[in-house]
């Protein structure tokens, strides 16, 4: 009935009447996502009628009402086939300022029309394969990038940027060819990085360092949504970019990583939005070549060093003896480097563990990222080792018992999901410099057995990667308890069927094999 009345007015009414009836329809169906199949034909005709109105010279308010209803109707995939034509797509492109003209975005009155047109395009492209094909034919990706360049430094049009970016994300998600076009032909990597810089209001203090105001206000909801859409689009653009082939690529990835470091150190309007923002930053960091992740840490600035000195001056008594304690008590500093971003990643990881669900989607990206950072960058590994595997003092409880980060990760080493337990074990193994004896010290043999068996290290030894030879000192508590650990050894069967330490059993089998190979 609603569609019938609206269709009648759209076909025969004047602009004011069309606007009123469509506004009523939009208000009634704003939250409608499932439609009655009996009215399908009427909705198709209403869509066609709306497109005919949009080509006329009608007031902006009438255009907005038309587009709002079109956006609602475009949620229904079944009605899109007859209305998704090249002509209709071009109507929406013109209204969204995505046509070939070099029009600037000066008329504020047109902004609602642009935003609603972009919303319609998002729905139509997502729900219609024909629209996806037409997007390629009409070179929609290039038009979207052009619109972004017009508004990248203008904060009062965040809604336009947000839905432009969302449409760019959808296109690059649905068409792998567009990812390559965005990356190389359209220079999407620097463009989208600049959009992030604008959203975060970044002020650079060095080539890859930005000023962080810890007392500043959180991002606005609009800035946060815009940043999230840019992060998602950048993920698609860089998804196959784990290798750097040119120096210019390396520089651009370092700039992006520095922007992502800034992203990790700021907050959104709510805790949920902050987590969503950081989650997308983690996903994107996973696409950055590991050699470029060194910008996640940086030397302490003069101001930070002066602040530490001021803290020392406030200490009573002998300041020199207290110095190490003060520096170590600051969890964000290690070896003269600012570790704030790594600390945020570690905290993010622990929160994802504590959620207790969706580990594969929510936890493995950040665990993989921390693992690769630790493997490639010594300072990051040593900082994380101090945080995750501090010197052992509690030697009475099993490694998986307790509430520390180590206890939580050790429990994951026997998780039912193979991917989750593998990356948790790999992370701890890398923190132990891939030394079996060190891993067993912190995790226990039973928890580590799966990783060691997969790597052929059940008898001991170390992995294939090289690490610096810094010492792993033992606490007095561990030294006293260490002899008792000899009660648990990896065992194996000798050729005669008796049990013996695994190393001895393997050596006996080796002798038998050599003897057998000498006989004909």
At 387-422, the pLDDT tens digits run 999 988 877 889 999 999 999 999 999 999 999 999
> How many residues are present in the chain?
520
pLDDT at 312: 36
pLDDT at 481: 55
CB distance 480 to 396 below 8 Å: no
Residues in CB range of 48: below 8 A, 6 or more apart: 82, 83
Q: Give the residue-averaged pLDDT of 275-279.
A: 97
Q: Give the residue-averaged pLDDT of 85-109.
A: 85
Q: Sorting pLDDT into bands at 50, 70 and 90, what band is 502?
A: low
User: Residues 246-254: contacts with CB within 8 Å, 24+ apart?
Assistant: 250/289, 250/291, 250/292, 252/189, 252/190, 252/193, 253/288, 253/289, 253/292, 254/208, 254/292, 254/295
Compare 238 and 505 and report the one with higher pLDDT. 238
Q: Give the residue-averaged pLDDT of 428-453.
A: 92
Tokens of 327: 């520096």
- Helix, strand, coil abundance in the chain, percent, nearest 5: 70, 5, 30
Q: Considering only 153-167, 310-324, 339-353, which range has the smallest mean pLDDT?
A: 310-324
Q: Does pLDDT of 330 surpass 70?
A: no
Compare 488 and 349 and report the one with higher pLDDT. 349
Distance, CA of 365 to CA of 362 (rounded, Å): 7
- What pLDDT digit, counting tens, does each position of 13-40 carry? 889 999 999 999 999 999 989 888 888 9
- What pLDDT digit, counting tens, does each position of 465-475 carry? 666 666 555 65
Look at strands 491-493 and 209-210 and give their pairing: unpaired
Distance, CA of 178 to CA of 145 (rounded, Å): 12
CB distance 373 to 290 below 8 Å: yes
- What pLDDT digit, counting tens, does each position of 206-253 carry? 999 999 998 889 999 999 999 999 999 999 999 876 665 577 789 999
Q: Give the residue-averaged pLDDT of 122-138.
A: 95
The CA distances from residue 414 to 230, 362, 447, 454, in Å, are 37, 18, 6, 14
pLDDT at 479: 56
Residues in CB range of 187: below 8 A, 6 or more apart: 145
Compare 103 and 157 and report the one with higher pLDDT. 157
- Residue 325: count other Cβ atoms within 10 Å of its Cβ: 9
Tokens of 250: 């390396």
Q: Give the residue-averaged pLDDT of 126-143.
A: 95
| Residue 188: exposure state from Cβ atoms within 10 A (0-12, 13-18, ≥19) | buried
pLDDT at 240: 76
Distance, CA of 135 to CA of 177 (rounded, Å): 12
Q: Give the residue-averaged pLDDT of 251-274.
A: 96
Q: Does pLDDT of 352 surpass 50?
A: yes
pLDDT at 475: 58
**Distance in angstroms between the alpha carbons of the first and the last residue of the chain:** 92
Q: Does pLDDT of 367 surpass 70?
A: yes
Tokens of 472: 């792993």
Q: Sorting pLDDT into bands at 50, 70 and 90, what band is 83?
A: confident
Q: Is 220 left (phi over 0), alpha (psi -120 to 50) or beta?
A: beta
Q: Give the residue-averaged pLDDT of 111-116.
A: 94
Distance, CA of 370 to CA of 345 (rounded, Å): 8
pLDDT at 487: 43
Residue 313: phi and psi, rounded to 5, are -65, -25
To the nearest whole number, what is the mean pLDDT of the chain?
85
Q: Considering only 62-76, 142-156, 321-335, which range has the smallest mean pLDDT?
A: 321-335
State the pTM of this model. Answer: 0.84
Among 119-123, 321-325, 462-466, the range with the most confident prediction by mean pLDDT is 119-123
Q: What percent of the chain has pLDDT over 90?
A: 62
Q: Give the residue-averaged pLDDT of 131-147.
A: 95
Helices (H), 175-301: 176-180, 188-200, 221-238, 247-264, 271-285
Q: Sorting pLDDT into bands at 50, 70 and 90, what band is 12?
A: confident
């Amino acid at each position: 009935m609603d569609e019938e009345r609206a269709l009648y007015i759209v076909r025969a009414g004047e602009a004011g009447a069309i606007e009123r009836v469509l506004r009523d329809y939009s208000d009634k169906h704003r939250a409608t996502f499932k439609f009655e199949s009996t009215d399908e034909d009427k909705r198709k005709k209403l869509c066609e009628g709306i497109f005919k109105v949009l080509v006329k010279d009608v007031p902006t308010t009438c255009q907005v009402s038309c587009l709002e209803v079109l956006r609602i109707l475009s949620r229904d995939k079944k009605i899109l086939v007859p209305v998704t034509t090249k002509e209709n797509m071009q109507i929406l492109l013109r209204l969204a300022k995505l046509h070939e003209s070099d029009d600037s975005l000066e008329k504020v009155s047109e902004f609602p029309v642009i935003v609603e047109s972009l919303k319609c395009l998002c729905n139509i492209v997502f729900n219609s394969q024909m629209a996806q094909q037409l997007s390629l034919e009409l070179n929609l990706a290039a038009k979207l990038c052009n619109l972004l360049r017009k508004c990248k430094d203008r904060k009062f049009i965040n809604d336009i940027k947000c839905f432009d970016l969302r449409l760019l994300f959808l296109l690059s998600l649905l068409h792998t060819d567009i990812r390559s076009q965005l990356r190389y032909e359209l220079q999407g990597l620097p463009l989208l990085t600049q959009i992030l810089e604008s959203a975060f209001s970044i002020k650079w203090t060095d080539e890859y360092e930005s000023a962080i105001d810890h007392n500043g206000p959180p991002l606005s909801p609009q800035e946060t949504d815009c940043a999230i859409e840019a992060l998602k689009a950048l993920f698609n653009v860089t998804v196959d970019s784990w290798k750097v082939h040119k120096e210019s690529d390396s520089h651009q990835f370092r700039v992006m990583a520095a922007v992502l470091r800034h992203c990790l150190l700021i907050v959104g309007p709510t805790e949920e939005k902050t987590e969503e923002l950081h989650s997308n930053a983690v996903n994107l960091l996973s696409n950055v070549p590991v050699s470029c992740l060194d910008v996640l840490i940086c030397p302490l600035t003069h101001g930070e060093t002066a602040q530490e000195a001021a803290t020392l001056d406030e200490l009573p008594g002998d300041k020199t003896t207290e110095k190490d304690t003060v520096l170590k008590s600051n969890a964000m500093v290690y070896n003269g480097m600012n570790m704030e971003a790594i600390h945020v990643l570690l905290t993010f990881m622990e929160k994802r563990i504590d959620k207790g669900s969706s580990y594969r989607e929510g936890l493995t990206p950040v665990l993989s990222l921390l693992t690769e950072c630790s493997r490639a960058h010594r300072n990051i590994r040593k900082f994380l080792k101090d945080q995750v595997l501090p010197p052992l003092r509690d030697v009475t409880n099993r490694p998986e018992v307790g509430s520390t980060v180590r206890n939580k990760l050790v429990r994951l080493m026997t998780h039912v999901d193979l991917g989750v337990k593998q990356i948790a074990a790999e992370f701890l193994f890398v923190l132990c410099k891939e030394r079996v004896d060190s891993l067993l010290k912190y995790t226990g043999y039973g928890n580590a057995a799966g990783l060691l068996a997969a790597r052929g290290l059940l008898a001991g030894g170390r992995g294939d990667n090289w690490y610096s030879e810094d010492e792993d000192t033992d606490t007095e508590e561990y030294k006293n308890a260490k002899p008792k650990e000899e009660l648990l050894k990896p065992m194996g069967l000798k050729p005669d069927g008796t049990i013996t330490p695994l190393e001895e059993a393997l050596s006996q089998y080796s002798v038998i094999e050599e003897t057998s190979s000498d006989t004909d």
